[in-house]
């Protein structure tokens, strides 16, 4: 009797609260289980989605820079293993292809075929052309990030994930085909006829190469939009920060795996680099088969007014029947989305979104302009300027990937424990100091202080990984109203890759002009970001939208 009366009282209380929320509802009011734990469907979804998309993006970020010693001669029209150029590829050619750089001149018995030196007057242009494949990748990523909102708004969330996978599968197929079409790696001393035959298909192979890089970039940009959105949609509110961080974690794991695969003992050789850049297509291929066993986004179903299906999926994801409050919250938010204008014009003109947009762009831009891409996109050349040569470049490069991985794993708990603001502000302050020390070390004695320089780089990577790495993907989802969030998220991702593109283009040019002083540029950028975000970035952990907007006095 008491038990029945107690249950009836609980129902009356919940009914009363539900009626009250129908009258006055704070945007982030919630009646959900705050003790939600991992369930098997959630674990399976995170594994399938992040390995098929985020991990692939990481491999495409961490691996290609270490193949530059092979790609550069290949793109310039010298597809032979023996190249007269001072890099790790020359060391590899000596050991694995038997090239003799001591007794051979710059011409072999049949004619000139070594990579010629670039005249000083053409060096800037040639540096740009040599880095063009990285630029094409980032352009593709920027386009993918900007158009990502349309894929997941007009398709289902799950189908948008499939599109990201399909673009990468096509990219991998094209990349693997490039080298068989145009190469001469089996010819240590080719004749003029063999050289001509090798060059006949050069334009076709290089076109496929650049198309592949663009498609990989487009897949990466699309991944940065649809993967965090899908993970957010299936996550309980109390676990959202942790689960979305797995997107960044798998990117970092992919970077490390890409570095490992690029070792000369594996695929980092003159005749295997196409496989080194294309093998990762296996993961989205498997993902396309497994993704259909995943649940559709309950939020998307609610948006399409398919409430019963959304409720069924929530019960499966949460492993409980007590999903009424969460479903009500989702339906209320989606009703808000459908009733308000969610256009780019509104995002850029509404006073309400001014500070959320500016701070989101600053958080995203500071991550790129802090200099992280000088480590991962130009790993080999950057480490070479620090005094590392031959195999030491690879081992020191692996240490950057391992540090990034360990720190990112730590960030999963640190983000929820310390919040977002401290993990952005304090690493930026320390980055300023590290960049100054790097300039000093490189000017005093690059080779003698190589280990000290590497330790500074590793410390910087750790600081980046705990905050500047994952938070730009999380912060926009917390500071924007639900009605504008899809557009804002795509704009933020687009800006990430736009600033990324600027760094990819400008870094080689600035490094050629200023040498080790290039790190002063990153120092200034980090200092500006620190000052601005210290003044204008709110803490968003456990805050509703009204509290966050109150920080800006709105």
Determine, yes or no, domain membership for 444: yes
- Quick: pLDDT tens for 233-275: 888 877 777 888 888 889 989 988 998 898 888 888 888 899 9
Residue 287: its pLDDT value, please? 96
**Quick one: which of 384, 366, 365 has its CA closest to 508?**
384
User: Do 359 and 335 sit in the same domain of this protein?
Assistant: no
The residue that leads in pLDDT, 150 or 96, is 150
Residues ≥6 apart with Cβ < 8 Å to 457: 375, 386, 400, 438
Looking at 339, 372, 396, which one is the last position of a domain?
339
The domain tally of the chain equals 2
107, pLDDT greater than 60: no
- Would you say 258 and 61 are in contact if contact means Cβ atoms under 8 Å apart? yes
**Quick one: which of 521, 169, 188, 223 has its CA closest to 373?**
521
**Quick one: which of 132, 73, 133 has its CA closest to 271?**
73
Under the banding of pLDDT at 50, 70 and 90, the label for residue 441 is confident
Residue 25: its pLDDT value, please? 39
Note the pTM of the prediction, 2 decimals: 0.81
Q: How many CB atoms lie within 10 A of CB 94?
A: 16
User: Do 418 and 305 sit in the same domain of this protein?
Assistant: no
Determine, yes or no, domain membership for 378: yes
User: Do 332 and 447 sit in the same domain of this protein?
Assistant: no
Determine, yes or no, domain membership for 29: no
**Candidate from 76-80, 142-146, 183-187, 416-420 with smallest mean pLDDT:** 183-187
- Quick: pLDDT tens for 62-91: 777 778 778 888 888 877 766 655 556 666
Residue 382: its pLDDT value, please? 63
CATH number at residue 429: 1.20.1250.20
User: Do 325 and 402 sit in the same domain of this protein?
Assistant: no
User: Do 412 and 304 sit in the same domain of this protein?
Assistant: no
User: Do 359 and 465 sit in the same domain of this protein?
Assistant: yes
Residue 195: its pLDDT value, please? 72
Residue 103: its pLDDT value, please? 55
Overall average pLDDT of the 538-552 stretch = 83
Determine, yes or no, domain membership for 321: yes
Q: Tell me the C-alpha distance between 264 and 255, whole Å.
A: 17
Looking at 276, 306, 339, which one is the last position of a domain?
339
Q: What is the CA radius of gyration of the chain?
A: 26
User: Do 344 and 334 sit in the same domain of this protein?
Assistant: no
User: Do 421 and 484 sit in the same domain of this protein?
Assistant: yes
User: Do 442 and 325 sit in the same domain of this protein?
Assistant: no
The residue that leads in pLDDT, 329 or 45, is 45
Residue 219: its pLDDT value, please? 96
- Quick: pLDDT tens for 267-296: 888 888 999 999 999 999 999 999 998 988
Under the banding of pLDDT at 50, 70 and 90, the label for residue 205 is very high
Most confident of 21-35, 50-64, 188-202: 50-64
User: Do 349 and 493 sit in the same domain of this protein?
Assistant: yes
Domain hosting residue 366, numbered range = 340-554
User: Do 304 and 436 sit in the same domain of this protein?
Assistant: no
- Quick: pLDDT tens for 445-470: 656 567 787 888 889 899 998 888 88
Determine, yes or no, domain membership for 163: no
Overall average pLDDT of the 14-25 stretch = 39
Helix runs in 262-323, H state only: 273-278, 282-290, 298-303, 307-318
Under the banding of pLDDT at 50, 70 and 90, the label for residue 109 is very low
């Amino acid at each position: 009797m008491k038990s029945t009366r107690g249950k009836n009282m609980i129902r009356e209380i919940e009914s009363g609260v539900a009626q009250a929320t129908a009258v006055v509802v704070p945007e982030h009011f919630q009646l959900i289980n705050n003790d939600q734990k991992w369930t098997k469907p959630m674990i399976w979804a995170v594994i399938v989605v992040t390995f098929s998309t985020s991990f692939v993006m990481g491999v495409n970020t961490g691996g290609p820079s270490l193949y530059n010693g092979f790609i550069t001669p290949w793109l310039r029209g010298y597809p032979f293993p023996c190249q007269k150029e001072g890099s790790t590829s020359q060391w590899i050619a000596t050991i694995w292809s038997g090239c003799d750089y001591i007794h051979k001149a710059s011409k072999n018995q049949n004619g000139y075929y070594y990579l010629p030196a670039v005249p000083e007057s053409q060096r800037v242009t040639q540096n740009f052309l040599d880095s063009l494949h990285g630029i094409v990748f980032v352009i593709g990523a920027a386009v993918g990030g900007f158009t990502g909102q349309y894929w997941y708004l007009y398709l289902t969330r799950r189908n948008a994930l499939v599109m990201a996978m399909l673009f990468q599968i096509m990219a991998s197929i094209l990349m693997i085909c490039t080298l068989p079409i145009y190469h001469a790696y089996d010819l240590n001393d080719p004749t003029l006829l063999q050289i001509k035959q090798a060059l006949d298909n050069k334009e076709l192979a290089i076109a496929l190469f650049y198309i592949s890089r663009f498609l990989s970039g487009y897949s990466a940009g699309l991944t940065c939009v649809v993967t965090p959105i899908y993970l957010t949609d299936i996550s309980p509110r109390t676990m959202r920060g942790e689960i979305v961080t797995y997107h960044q974690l798998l990117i970092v794991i992919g970077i490390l795996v890409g570095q490992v695969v690029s070792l000369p003992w594996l695929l980092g050789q003159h005749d295997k680099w196409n496989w080194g850049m294309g093998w990762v297509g296996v993961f989205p291929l498997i993902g396309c088969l497994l993704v259909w066993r995943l649940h559709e986004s309950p939020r998307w179903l609610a948006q399409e007014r398919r409430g019963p299906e959304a409720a069924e999926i929530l019960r499966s994801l949460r492993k409980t029947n007590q999903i009424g409050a969460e479903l009500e919250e989702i339906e209320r938010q989606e009703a808000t989305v459908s009733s308000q204008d969610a256009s780019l014009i509104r995002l850029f003109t509404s006073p309400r979104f001014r500070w959320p947009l500016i701070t989101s762009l600053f958080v995203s831009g500071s991550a790129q302009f802090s200099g992280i891409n000088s480590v991962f996109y130009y790993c080999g050349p950057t480490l070479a300027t620090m005094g590392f040569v031959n195999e030491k470049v690879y081992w020191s490069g692996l240490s950057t990937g391992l540090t990034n991985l360990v720190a990112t794993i730590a960030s999963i708990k640190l983000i929820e424990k310390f919040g977002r603001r401290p993990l952005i502000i304090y690493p930026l302050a320390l980055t300023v100091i590290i960049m100054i020390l790097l300039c000093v070390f490189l000017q005093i004695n690059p080779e003698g202080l190589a280990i000290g320089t590497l330790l500074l780089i590793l410390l910087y990577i750790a600081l980046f990984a705990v905050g500047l790495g994952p938070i730009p993907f999380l912060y926009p989802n917390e500071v924007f109203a639900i009605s504008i969030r899809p557009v804002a998220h795509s704009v933020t991702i687009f800006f990430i890759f736009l600033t990324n593109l600027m760094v990819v283009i400008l870094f080689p040019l600035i490094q050629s002009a200023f040498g080790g002083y290039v790190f002063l540029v990153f120092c200034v950028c980090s200092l500006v970001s620190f000052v601005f975000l210290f003044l204008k970035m709110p803490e968003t952990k456990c805050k509703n939208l009204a509290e966050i907007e109150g920080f800006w006095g709105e």
